[in-house]
Amino acid sequence: MTARRILLAASAATLFATLAAVPALAAGDVGQLEKQPVNLSAIGMFIAFVVMTLGITYWAASRTRSTSDFYTAGGGITGFQNGLAIAGDYMSAATLLGLSSLVFAKGYDGFVYTISFFVGWPIILFLLAERLRNLGHFTFADIASYRLDQGKIRTFAAIGSLTVVCFYLIVQMVGAGQLIKLLFGLDYNVAVIVVGVLMVVYVTFGGMIATTWVQIIKAVLLLGGGILLAFLALSRFGFSLEAIARSAIASHKDGVKIMGPGTLLADPVSAVSLSLGLLFGTAALPHIMMRFFTVPNAREARKSVFYASGFIGFFFLIVCILGMAAITIVGTDPQFFEGGKVGGKLIGGGNMPVMHLAKALGGDLFLGFLSAVAFATILAVVSGLALAGASAIAHDLYARVIRKGEATEREEMRVSKIASLVLGVLAVVLGIAFEKQNVAFLVGLTFGVAASVNFPVLILSMYWKGLTTRGALAGGIAGLISAVTLVVLSNAVWVVVLNNPAPIFPYEQPALFSMTLAFIVTIVVSKLDSSASARAEREAFEDQFVRSQTGIGAAAAARH
């Protein structure tokens, strides 16, 4: 393996971490991250956000009576609201900080990355959204196990969801602790506990209604903050993109090279594997899929993707403008560099350009606002994750598998609340345990497992008549083992965690290989399966197909 390969793998590793979880990257710098002085305006604004969202949770609690209210807000969220909430799930602290810092550091390469992060949305709409809505009830396992063995496939799908939820929760918790330590000047453990407690309160009392509104408010704040910041940045350059570009070329150490593709995605295999992981991993994240069950019908589900991708695309374009503007405004200002040395290490680490930009353009007050929004963002994402995890435990494992559908709604609700509490405690404990770890590999795992374990069974159950229980199980296990193995052999674990000199698997994202393997194994094993149950499962496809296309039978699920 050439040195260039390793370098590419290493930079892809860093970039993937930056993008999917800025915080994870920050975790790598633990040693260098100094606790900042307590930022009162940021804390004040964050408290205002918390008070408002707790008010909403109180209101939501009075409306959360049934399991359907709890898991899916009773299917009563409109397409527009859900679009904002989906956009909120996608516009994480990672996208604001990570994408803008990528553009700040690499110019056009950061933009290419942004585009790769976006194009999954249209595909989700064209191929998945309405079938998800028409077939699903509360969880992704509902769809996976629709015509397959309830006990086996539901258990497997629930475990797949829980794995993804736990990995991603750790990433978010560690990120929250680091970011809050940095921006608010609060202690790491305090920050993690605050996030854990608020998450449990939102989810156990307010269920999906509160979680959705927390997400919507945060999305609006993030969009508003981004637009205001872009406006201030553009005003510095006479509202001319040309002027921003000219000035950026003059300020950046790579000069005119930042105006086109550089070394970042020069290796097509890395690029394709990464984009597959982002594309299908995102589509199969349990907390994103769950959002499709909160709308009353397929019509609203489609609308919500249209709105969501509009908001996301717009936000991404703004983030790129911010990154380009920061090259000049932050990149040439000694106050943002350690020791005042321009071109050296940015204060707070590589993910901070947009925060420094806020300070440069709007002073401490605006910096405080943006910090509060970043905190709110993490809070909203972990709440969605906790809810998805709780539904996998209470709805799939407890109500369907253990009690075989005999549990009363009251019992299921109780289990789901206990489950959210347990997930909250687990998240805090793991968040604290992983404080000093580099958790970048967990990001690769989250998306790799989602794309290689959840996605194949999801898409094949909807599109391929021949899928059988045995095939789905074999393929899922193959996807899980290969995704985990490849991540362990990649730079993020093999070199960074295990201190080996070079990675055995040269790419950061395993999806191209593990997802392909999962599909092949699923299809081959399904084809070889000649059992009686397999025959019945294939026959059941026709009815499932009608429901997935028309929603007949699903309408009842939405009318409560």
| List of residues contacting another protein (CB under 8 A) | 108, 111-112, 114-116, 118-119, 121-123, 125-127, 130, 137, 142, 146-147, 150, 241-242, 245-246, 249, 256-257, 259-262, 265-268, 271-272, 275, 298-299, 302-303, 305-306, 309-310, 313, 316-317, 536, 539-540, 542-543, 546-547, 549-553, 555-557
Of 88, 84, 111, nearest in space to 318 by CA = 111
Helix or strand or coil: residue 346? strand
Contact in structure between 140 and 289 (CB atoms under 8 Å):
yes
Nearer to another protein, 244 or 521 (CB): 244
Of 248 and 430, which has the nearer Cβ to another protein? 248
Cβ atoms of residues 355 and 36 within 8 Å: no
In the complex, the smallest distance separating the C-beta of residue 406 from another protein, rounded to whole angstroms, is 15
How far CA 93 is from CA of 63, 188, 371, 444, in Å, comes to 30, 17, 10, 17
As measured in angstroms, the least distance from the Cβ of 531 to another protein is 15
Give 498's contacts (C-beta < 8 A, 6+ positions apart).
none
Q: How many CA atoms lie within 13 A of 324 on its CB side?
A: 28
Spatial contact of 334 and 341, defined as CB atoms under 8 Å apart: yes
**Is the CB of 362 or the CB of 553 nearer to another protein?**
553
In degrees and rounded to multiples of 5, residue 345 shows phi and psi of -90, 130
Separation CA 344–CA 346 (nearest Å): 6
Question: How far is residue 394's CA from residue 420's CA, in Å, rounded to a whole number?
Answer: 9
Task: Tell me the closest approach of the beta carbon of residue 462 to another protein, in angstroms.
Answer: 12
Closest distance between another protein and the C-beta of residue 536, in Å?
A: 6
Q: How many residues does the chain have?
A: 560
Cα angle, residue 225 at apex, residues 205 and 325 outer, rounded to 5°: 145
Task: Give the closest residue to 376 by CA, choosing from 86, 16, 43.
Answer: 43
Least CB distance to another protein at residue 127 (A): 6
Structure letter (DSSP) for residue 35: P
Our CB check for another protein shows the closer of 429 and 552 to be 552
Q: State how far the Cα of 256 lies from the Cα of 253, in Å rounded to an integer.
A: 9
Q: Which is nearer to another protein, 126 or 231 (CB)?
A: 126
SS (H, E, C) 252-314: CCCHHHHHCCCCCCCCHHHHHHHHHHHHHHHHCCHHHHHHHHCCCCHHHHHHHHHHHHHHHHH
Cα gap 41→196, rounded to integer Å: 22
By beta-carbon proximity to another protein, the closer residue of 229 and 557 is 557
At 346, give phi and psi (nearest 5°). -70, 140
**Residue 40 CA to its chain's centroid (Å):** 29
In this complex, which beta carbon is closest to another protein, that of residue 69 or of residue 142? 142
Query: In the bound complex, what is the minimum distance in angstroms from residue 145's beta carbon to another protein?
Result: 9
β-sheet bridge partners, residue 337? 346
Shortest CB 213 distance to another protein, Å: 24
Beta-carbon contacts of 372 under 8 Å, excluding residues fewer than 6 positions away, are 42, 43, 45, 46, 48, 49
Nearer to another protein, 246 or 527 (CB): 246
Q: Which is nearer to another protein, 18 or 548 (CB)?
A: 548
Alpha-carbon distance of 202 to 53, in angstroms, equals: 8
In the complex, the smallest distance separating the C-beta of residue 313 from another protein, rounded to whole angstroms, is 5
Residue 357: CB minimum distance to another protein, A? 19
Nearer to another protein among residue 147 and residue 181 (C-beta)? 147
What's the min distance (Å) between Cβ of 403 and another protein?
Answer: 16
109 versus 435: smaller Cβ distance to another protein? 109
Give the shortest CB-246-to-another protein separation in angstroms. Answer: 4
DSSP 8-state code for residue 337: B
Beta strands in 357-471 (DSSP E): none
Minimum Å gap between C-beta 237 and another protein is 12
DSSP 284-295: T-HHHHGGGGSS
Q: What is the nearest approach in angstroms of another protein to the Cβ of residue 298?
A: 8
Q: What is d(CA 139, CA 142) in angstroms, rounded to the nearest whole number?
A: 5
In the complex, minimum distance from the CB of residue 546 to another protein, in angstroms, rounded to a whole number: 4
Nearer to another protein, 267 or 396 (CB): 267
121 versus 337: smaller Cβ distance to another protein:
121
Nearest CB to another protein, comparing residues 59 and 545: 545
Q: Residue 131: what residue type?
A: R
In the DSSP assignment, the letter for residue 531 is -
